[in-house]
Structure 1
Amino acid sequence: MSFIRTLHGDIRKEELGFTYSHEHIVCRPAFWQERGEDDLLLDDKEKSKLDVLDFKRHGGRAIVDATAVDYGRDVQAVQEIALETGIRIVGTAGFNKSFLWDAQIKEELKPLTGDYATYTQWIEAKSINELADFVIREVEEGLEGSPFKAGQVKFGTGYNRITPLEEKTLRAVARAHHETKAPIHSHTEVGTMALEQIELLKSEGVDLTYLSLGHMDRNPDPYYHAQIAATGAYMSFDGIGKIKYAPESTRIALILELVRKGHEDQILISGDTARKTYYKHYDHGLGLEYIIAKWVPRFIDEANRAGFDGQKLINKFFISNPANCFSFKK
């Protein structure tokens, strides 16, 4: 039996619908808050909700909120947005990357994490299995002690390196996955270290068809992508709209090259919209409507011109692939 766990309960995977696979909706990362980086604080529930409603108006049905505990989640606000908009939202248990862990742990998390000042101190002090138990509770009981359960587990690594603490959280997340059967998502910094992450997960006995790897378009290397795809993992092209990193033509070419090689069932698409300046209703950015309203028609046109069925591919990337990727298979 397969199901998807949303903040408001488990659903059949066929109910998920058109899905963005990696977004951030309301979050106040302590690391950025302590440094006065206001652009990286999505701190207004009503403005975030307006962007979610734009997505819904264009036919969107679900969003995977990839915000882990160390990135300043606001579980209450996000579940309220899900309830008030009717958009299904999948929450995330687990961890991000190590440089964020120097930030102060929120006071309300102290009863759950223990009385540690920073995330680094907490992760250093706990064993792999103790960290796994924390992740398991967030999947099976609720995020940050709430009744709203996570629908995926996450870890992250840095640019061209994996620190000992990042390996520790990776192994904790792998063990939580074995216990819960939750899908796994990884943060790769600028698309690096994916193959190294995969080797570590294999050493923990993880079936890689449960894994999605983020930020693949930040490393626009078709040979590298083919190596990753050969493992059976999902690949998330989640920088759509971020022209400062690459034009859309580059992303579309990378995606179509994977399709040519037979990997269309492993591709996910999203925007990782994590700044005020990316949101329409915070600061006049492209907003959550951009992919579904503007990028999708362009992709269909380019795919059709290249000899593919563009609409069929869109249905895979946004409907059937997320439904399969984010399923608990018990």
Structure 2
Amino acid sequence: MGFIRTLHGDMDPKELGFTYSHEHIVCRPAYWKERGEDDLLLDDKEKSKLDVLDFKRYGGQSIVDATAVDYGRDVHAVEEIARETGIRIVGTAGFNKSFLWDAGIKEELKPLIGPYDTYAQWIEAKTINELADFVIREVEEGLEGTPFKAGQVKFGTGYNRITPLEEKTLRAVARAHHETKAPVHSHTEVGTMALEQIELLRSEGVNLSYLSLGHMDRNPDPYYHEQIAATGAFLSFDGIGKIKYAPESTRIALILNLVRKGYEDQILISGDTARKTYYKHYDHGLGLEYIIAKWVPRFIDEADQAGFDGKKLIEKFFVTNPARCFTFKK
């Protein structure tokens, strides 16, 4: 029997409940901070907490916070939100994508990773196994030296390319996964390079049923999605509410296409809500309540009209599938 690792300890997967599979709650990415991009700084714990409470009010129970070390996470603030709201939060070890690594490393991290000025310097200087050891410590001991442990490991790649340093972190995360049995999550830029990521993971011997691939709806290509699903990996449709990329009708059609093909057990849904303007209590955005309060009823209606059982599918996407995806399997 496996378990899910939250910031407040390990739990039975059956207790996870309604889950957003990819969010950001409190973070100050150094890359964006250095460039004055205030919209990308979720820097007010109390405002983030109000949005988490909205999610809870509509029946939400758990959130996977996908913020890695290079994206300016605030472990203590997120842990406090989990404790104060009663929402279970899964933390993330590992890395994001390479263009973020030109940013400066906060001083508090340097005793843990060494005297490097940027993440790129650190990643370049260390071996794959040394980077893996850092990720393993974040899963088994705690994030950034805290007692709050990660419940998944993450890597990322850029748009239509995988740089040598990104491949290095991918392999480090794969090896950390083998040591810890933590589930693996990947950032794909605009939904690209998923199949290439998969081939690299296969070369490291990773069982792809442990893998979830982010931002699949940013590349609205049904054939591509079917190729990915055939590997056994989970597909994360985590751009819900971002109409600037595609209307909800496109996302729902992509999801229902995968259901028709028999892949309903490999679908995750979330919002990747990582801007002030996406949050209700920062800047009047749709907020963390949007998916559970408004998108879910719409999906049920469209799925029912298409001949499916919409409520059953929602149970899979937000309860059953996350419980399987985020389980440490011994």
TM-score bracket for this pair, using the shorter chain length: over 0.9
Instruction: Supply the distance in 1 between the matched residues of 2:157 and 2:56 (Cα, whole angstroms).
Output: 32
State yes or no: 1:121 paired with 2:82.
no
Give the superposition deviation at 1:50. Answer: 0.1
Instruction: Supply the distance in 1 between the matched residues of 2:240 and 2:186 (Cα, whole angstroms).
Output: 18
Q: How does 1:154-173 map to 2 (within 5 A)?
A: 154-173=154-173
Give the superposition deviation at 1:169. Answer: 0.0
The TM-score with structure 2 as length reference comes to: 1.00
Instruction: Supply the distance in 2 between the matched residues of 1:253 and 1:299 (Cα, whole angstroms).
Output: 10
| Aligned match of 1:54 | 54
CA offsets, 1:18-53, max 9 Å, x none?
000000000000000000000000000000000000
Give the superposition deviation at 1:60. Answer: 0.0
Give the superposition deviation at 1:206. Answer: 0.1
CA offsets, 1:280-330, max 9 Å, x none?
000000000000000000000000000000000000000000000000001
| Aligned match of 1:174 | 174
Q: Aligned pairs, how many?
A: 330
Instruction: Supply the distance in 2 between the matched residues of 1:68 and 1:242 (Cα, whole angstroms).
Output: 22
Residue 81 of structure 1 aligns to which amino acid in structure 2? I
The TM-score with structure 1 as length reference comes to: 1.00
Instruction: Supply the distance in 2 between the matched residues of 1:105 and 1:122 (Cα, whole angstroms).
Output: 9
Residue 44 of structure 2 aligns to which amino acid in structure 1? D
| Aligned match of 1:310 | 310
Q: How does 1:225-304 map to 2 (within 5 A)?
A: 225-304=225-304
| Aligned match of 1:206 | 206
Give the superposition deviation at 1:117. Answer: 0.2
Secondary structure in 2 matching 1:329: coil
Instruction: Supply the distance in 2 between the matched residues of 1:207 and 1:12 (Cα, whole angstroms).
Output: 22
| Aligned match of 1:110 | 110
| Aligned match of 1:215 | 215
Give the superposition deviation at 1:222. Answer: 0.2
| Aligned match of 1:72 | 72
Instruction: Supply the distance in 1 between the matched residues of 2:103 and 2:175 (Cα, whole angstroms).
Output: 25
Residue 191 of structure 1 aligns to which amino acid in structure 2? G
Instruction: Supply the distance in 2 between the matched residues of 1:133 and 1:148 (Cα, whole angstroms).
Output: 17
Secondary structure in 1 matching 2:156: strand
Secondary structure in 2 matching 1:124: helix
Residue 279 of structure 1 aligns to which amino acid in structure 2? Y
Instruction: Supply the distance in 1 between the matched residues of 2:217 and 2:309 (Cα, whole angstroms).
Output: 22
Give the superposition deviation at 1:279. Answer: 0.0
Residue 287 of structure 1 aligns to which amino acid in structure 2? G
Give the superposition deviation at 1:209. Answer: 0.1
Provide the alpha-carbon RMSD of the alignment. Answer: 0.2
Residue 196 of structure 2 aligns to which amino acid in structure 1? E
